[in-house]
Chains A and B, each alone.
Chain A
Amino acid sequence: MISENTKKEPLVRIAKRAELSPKKAALVRFSSIIVALLIGGLLILALGYNPISVYGGIIEGSLLTPTALKATAKIAVPLLGAALAIAPAFRMKFWNCGAEGQITVGAIASTYFALYHVGDLPAPVFFVVTFIVSAIFGGLWGLIPAFFKARWGTNETLFTLMLNYIAIGFVKYLRIGPWMDKGQMFPKVPMFDRAARLPDVFGVHIGWIIVLLLVVFTYIYMTRTKHGYEIAVVGESVSTARYSGMNVAKIIMRTMFISGAVAGIVGWMLALGTNYTLSDTTANGYGFTAIVVAWLAKLNPFVMVLISAFLAVLQKGSNSIQTNFGIPASASEVLTGLILLCMLGSEFFINYRFVFRKKSVGGDD
């Protein structure tokens, strides 16, 4: 009855490990970034370049000159904003993949004011009004999938994704149709008047201050308030939430309105602070990269600051190595992907270890 191969113990098997101390776990996570950089170095080496000088080029091209630093900040700010936007939704396990669309809708709302009402209001009032309107429209765009999910249990991932295309398609319509710049050959929305552009503080539009304030607000909202508690409970177990008398539908809709509203604010700063116009690429993929940021930070707003800065450095730096070394910028995307893979992979080693046949040796990393 017993076949030959069943007589041996398995060569490698996986065993759950005792819980690691937070310090050790942080060490594992940090070393995963080192591992990713090493693998990335091999990749650069294979392309025929010196990894050290290329990594140096990334640092130099993103951080070491004032111009480069400002450009990096301009990437990091909306990225962080978008990550903050999706954080409450993700804590609720509502997979909001629609930040891209919510950003775009917010940008459309501010563009309307920037094109047609810029002279009507004093500058501070103009910015406050556009800020609020962008937030409301972004929030409403987020509310749509939440309403359908709460009412009929639709799949929010697909729903939010699809709404992105509708928002971007609507921008195309505006660009070719009613909002087209008549003086141009190429159909595009006109550049905004100077009065409709966000003021700079230390060389970067004022949005960075708002985003840093949002970091603190989001942290307090998610960890200290009743709303934050409700969000966490709904995320962990809808039936428990119902049994404790929570109105789950209301919580889902309220949270998604807030999530969309923050994304709308990101759209406001992208339109009025960065691009000074509206285009199909106003959201520029921030809504998607933000998912990576939020995950890697485990939804902690303060860690998001670091992660979004790190990804911005990679993105800006890779543009400059493209110019300086002739390495395609897509190489940096490969690097980003490697880092993500290694960091997610490290979670496995935090929870499990390998046990080898005969002498048991823990495979730590």
Chain B
Amino acid sequence: MENAAIQLKNLTKKFGSVIANDNVSLEIRRGEILALLGENGSGKTTLMNMLSGIYYPDGGQIFVDGKEVIIGSPKEAFDLGIGMIHQHFKLVDVLTAAENMVLGIKENGRLNTKTIGDKMKKICEQYGFNVDPDKKIYDMSVSEKQTVEIVKMLYRGADVLILDEPTAVLTPQETTKLFAILRNMKKDGKSVVIITHKLNEVMELSDRVSVLRKGVHVGDFNTSETNPQELTNLMVGHAVTLNIERTKCENPVKRLEIKNLCCVNDDGVKVLDDINFEAYSGEVLGIAGISGCGQKELLEGIAGLQKVSGSIEFYPPDGSEKKELNGKSPKEIIKCGIALSFVPEDRLGMGLIGNMDLADNMMLRSYNKGKSPFADRKTPAKLAEKVVDELEVVTPGINVPVRNLSGGNVQKILVGREIASDPSVLMSAYAVRGLDINTSYTIYNLMNEQKNNGCAVIYVGEDLDVLVELCDRILVLCGGKVSGIVDGRTTTKEEVGLLMTSLGGGKEDNL
């Protein structure tokens, strides 16, 4: 092909007995935006890591400009003009943006921050970035850091830019800005690859799309000639329906009433400022906000894991006297039937133990029942089997360490366990973080089921499209304050997006 910048031929990569990429062949053309689409664990990132020198392929060839090359390290990838922006940024926090530009580059002469700054400015003007070369990384928001990463790659002369799930951490407005920049780069003749599992982004941004499923390359399309349904079916391997069924709230009863909740963190920063809201049974209350706006503190405060001031009143479903939760220990709050599942960035850290098997992970909720000093392992094992069965968890057995399971299956177990404890309030944060479409919908349905069973569901999410579709009401946080509570049935993504940045108090409000 005349304008192919990079061709991959029959690339294979194995990790132990797991085949991450199986004879993948595809090409990246000059002046195009290619979307690499696939479910979690389909081998998108592995494939691109081979291109950027992180992994070495077990088989196959890579051609750059028609010549076969061997890429043994990220530096060799740079030399070939290939730059990758990882999900976790590779920046040194205590250095400035300019210093990060030249980190690791071998150049003669003294470090001249002024020339670096000038060169950066040129790049910024050309593509429409906005970066202060002298700002330290630790003072930057996630979006700024990402910009620095992209500028860094261009500074080093990258012609092929690979972005691994770049929008996962951005607000809708920031995403729009990023897409504009990527289009500028395309116009300039650069090749852009974005790894994603969000179909709307594929449709909006890309020229072509390559789909991976379970490590195998299953198709290439021109974006204009395909549609989301076709891509989804190909990606998942069977037909799926993409609708969230939002049922009507059946006689909602007040479960939680939060009044004047405030929280000051260890650094003395006020992270929650006078939060007031109510949560009802049979309803999904969504919480939207840029990450780090107090979502975590709010949920942890309710669960008794974070010191807060103000009052958290719980109205038990049996109609008995309301209880004040603030001041109770986490154990007592769990006993009231308030379950919290929080999926952090690494997906395991806060609910599951990677090195323990499924049954032992189920035990986290139940081990303390009864008076005997010995732990009951039979009930959790049965529960594990039930969850595996009902949620279709793919696992060789219940005695397998959770870390050996793929992300989606891990999260099914986490959510499955919380639901099995039959909570009266289910708080779930980022339950679909990093999950593919198919599994995400399974999780949404599980929440809806809980709602229909009369549970008060509080759902903290990142994807605004989903929040607007799933939730009955949406509470928007901005800089630790409630900037609005809107009706999920009538609101729009844009309205919520605006509320997320409206108060001006948000630390990361740089639009």
Interface residues of A (CB under 8 A from B): 1-3, 6-10, 13, 15-19, 224-230, 232-233, 236-237, 239-240, 242-247
Nearest Cβ on chain A to B379's Cβ, whole angstroms: 13
Q: Which residue of B lies closest to A233 (CB)?
A: B353
Q: Are A243 and B72 in contact (CB under 8 A)?
A: no
B117: A residues at CB distance < 8 A: none
Q: Give A297 to B292 CA distance when docked, in angstroms.
A: 43
Among A17, A225, A236, A240, contact of B375 (Cβ-Cβ < 8 Å): A225
Mark contacts of B338-351 with chain A using CB atoms, 8 A cut-off: 1 yes-contact digit, 0 otherwise: 00101010001111
For the complex, would chain A's binding face be called helix, strand, loop or mixed by DSSP majority? Answer: mixed
Collect the chain A residues with CB atoms within 8 Å of residue B14's CB. Answer: 15
When the two chains form the complex, which single residue of B70, B360, B368 contacts A6, counting CB atoms closer than 8 Å?
B70
Asked if A225 and B79 make an inter-chain contact with CB atoms under 8 angstroms apart, the answer reads: no
Residues of A with C-beta under 8 A to B375 = 224-226, 228-229
Find B342's partner among A224, A243, A246 (CB 8 Å cutoff).
A243
Tell me, yes or no, whether B109 is within 8 Å of chain A by CB: no
Task: Tell me, yes or no, whether B118 is within 8 Å of chain A by CB.
Answer: no
- Provided the pairs A2-B79, A233-B353, A236-B353 are in contact, do residues A18 and B17 lie with their beta carbons within 8 angstroms? yes
Chain B, 477-503, contact with A by CB distance < 8 Å: what is the 0/1 string?
Answer: 000000000000000000000000000
Partner of B331, one of A3, A13, A18, A245: A245
Chain B, Cβ-Cβ closest to A239 = B350
Q: Which residues of A contact B364 (CB under 8 A)?
A: 233, 240, 244
A15 to B72, CA, bound (A): 14
- Interchain CA distance A70-B492 in the complex, whole Å: 82
Any A CB within 8 A of the CB of B330: yes
The count of chain B contact residues (Cβ–Cβ below 8 Å) is: 43
For the complex of A and B, list the 5 residue pairs with the smallest distance between their C-beta atoms, beginning with the closest. Answer: A18-B17, A245-B331, A18-B16, A245-B330, A244-B364
**Contact A10 B56, CB 8 Å, known A3-B79, A242-B305:** yes
Contact A232 B79 (CB under 8 A): no
Contact B58 A8 (CB under 8 A): no
B352 touches A (CB below 8 Å): yes
Would you call A244 and B349 a contact (CB within 8 A)?
no
Contacts of A13 in B (CB 8 A): 56
**Chain B residues, Cβ within 8 Å of A236:** 353-356
Contacts of B303 in A (CB 8 A): 243
Given contact pairs A10-B56, A243-B305, A226 touches B374 in the complex (Cβ within 8 A) = yes
Q: Mark B94-117, 1 if CB is under 8 A from A, else 0.
A: 000000000000000000000000
Give complex CA distance A225, B368 in Å: 10
Task: Name A221's closest neighbour in chain B (CB-CB).
Answer: B373
Is there an interface contact between B356 and A224, defined as CB atoms closer than 8 Å? no
Q: Bound complex: CA of A242 vs CA of B300, how far in Å?
A: 10
Q: Say whether B351 contacts A240, CB under 8 Å.
A: yes
Collect the chain B residues with CB atoms within 8 Å of residue A17's CB.
16
Count A/B pairs, Cβ under 8 Å: 92
Residues of B within 8 A of A9 (CB): 70, 72
Query: Please, which residues of chain B bring their CB within 8 A of the CB of A8?
Result: 70
Least CB separation from B370: chain A residue = A226
Q: Could you tell me if A225 and B342 are in contact, using CB atoms closer than 8 angstroms?
A: no
Chain A residues lying within 8 Å of B81, measured Cβ to Cβ, are: 1
Q: CA A239 – CA B330 in complex, angstroms?
A: 13
Can you spell out 14 A-B residue pairs with CB atoms less than 8 angstroms apart? A2-B80, A7-B70, A10-B72, A19-B17, A225-B374, A226-B367, A229-B367, A237-B349, A242-B330, A243-B351, A244-B364, A244-B365, A245-B331, A245-B334
Complex CA–CA separation, A332 to B360 (angstroms): 42
Known contacts A6-B72, A232-B353, A239-B344; 10 further A-B pairs (Cβ under 8 A): A7-B70, A9-B72, A15-B14, A19-B16, A226-B373, A237-B349, A240-B353, A242-B305, A243-B342, A245-B331
Is B363 engaged at the interface, CB distance under 8 Å to the other chain?
A: yes
In the bound complex, CA of A224 to CA of B372 (Å): 11
Complex Cα distance, B79 from A288, in Å, reads 50
Q: With a CB–CB cut-off of 8 A, which chain A residues contact B354?
A: 236
CB distance A6 to B342 under 8 Å? no
Most buried by A among B69, B340, B375: B375
Residues of A within 8 A of B349 (CB): 237, 239-240
A16 to B58, CA, bound (A): 11
Which residues of the other chain, A, contact B373 by a CB distance below 8 angstroms? 225-227
B76 in the interface, Cβ–Cβ < 8 Å? yes
Tell me the smallest distance from the CB of A40 to a CB of chain B, in Å. Answer: 33
A233 to B303, CA, bound (A): 19
Tell me whether A1 and B70 are in contact in the complex, defined as CB-CB below 8 angstroms, given that A16-B15, A239-B349, A247-B331 are known contacts: no
Contacts of B351 in A (CB 8 A): 240, 243
Q: Indicate whether B88 reaches chain A with its CB closer than 8 angstroms.
A: no
| B329 CB-CB contact with A under 8 Å | yes
**Closest B residue, CB atoms, query A236:** B353
**Per-residue CB proximity of B273-313 to A under 8 Å, as 1/0?**
00000000000000000000000000000010100000000
Chain B residues with CB below 8 A from A239, complex form: 344, 349-350
Residue contact A6 to B69, C-beta cutoff 8 Å = yes
Closest Cβ of chain B: how far from A93's Cβ, in Å?
11
User: CB of B67 within 8 A of chain A?
Assistant: yes
Contact status A247-B356, CB under 8 Å: no
Q: Within the assembled complex, what's the spacing in Å between the Cα atoms of A291 and B364?
A: 29
Q: A223 CB to closest chain B CB, in angstroms?
A: 9
- State how many angstroms separate the Cβ of B425 from the closest Cβ of chain A: 15
Collect the chain A residues with CB atoms within 8 Å of residue B15's CB: 16
Q: How far is the CA of A15 from the CA of B14 in the complex (A)?
A: 9
Q: Do residues A240 and B352 form an inter-chain contact, with CB atoms below 8 A?
A: yes
Knowing A10-B56, A18-B17, A245-B331, say if A224 contacts B70 (CB, 8 Å): no
CA A225 to CA B371, docked complex, whole Å:
11
CA distance A30 to B494 in the complex (A): 65
Interface string of B172-209 (1 = CB under 8 A from A): 00000000000000000000000000000000000000
Across-interface contacts of B70 in A (CB, < 8 A): 6-9
